[in-house]
Structure 1
Amino acid sequence: MSASMQPRTTNAYYLQAVLSFALATAALAIGIVYLPVDPWMRGFLAVGLLYEITAAFTLAKVIRDRQEVGEIASRVDQARLDKLLAEHDPFRVDGI
């Protein structure tokens, strides 16, 4: 698959993902701020929220990197096959 044929996300889908992430993070942060608990508990929950966000970004990057490696290997294999097919002459007789 060439680079121009790779599926792309639409601007609307990208915007929805960004807004959804921002809304979920803001809602949870507001919930932590207004939670009727001691400040140290609120701090613990805030650190947990930040850790969860960084873990989600790390997981997304690892998944994307593994997918890209698979695509690169597939393109290398396809290039090798294309080269073999281009060099193959079905009318050539070996040994004569």
Structure 2
Amino acid sequence: MIGSGFSFSDGGQILVSAQRPLGIVLVQDPDTGAIRVAEVDPSGSAGRGGVRVGDVLVAVQNASTEGVDLGDVLAYIGNGPRVMNLRLRRA
């Protein structure tokens, strides 16, 4: 199994495999609909994987989050596997 906090960079994006609970707070921009990281617990698996405040969530488990409501994304994460793959774009 992939350990929590694994990540790699792909140009302007970062892929993080993090174990739930992720240790991040997500918010949705009311103007653009983009889902951004508002808070990061540095000792949480996403924080150890390099997630930063301001990162934009692009996909979860290879499913795009573009145009998706934050509540649906949170439900998807909550019902997903123990280790989640998050693709983020650096702000």
* TM bracket (short chain): under 0.3
* Larger strand share, 1 or 2: 2
Task: Point out the structure with max Rg over C-alpha.
Answer: 1
TM-score, normalising length: structure 1: 0.21
Higher RCO, 1 vs 2 (CA within 8 Å, ≥6 residues apart): 2
TM-score, normalising length: structure 2: 0.22
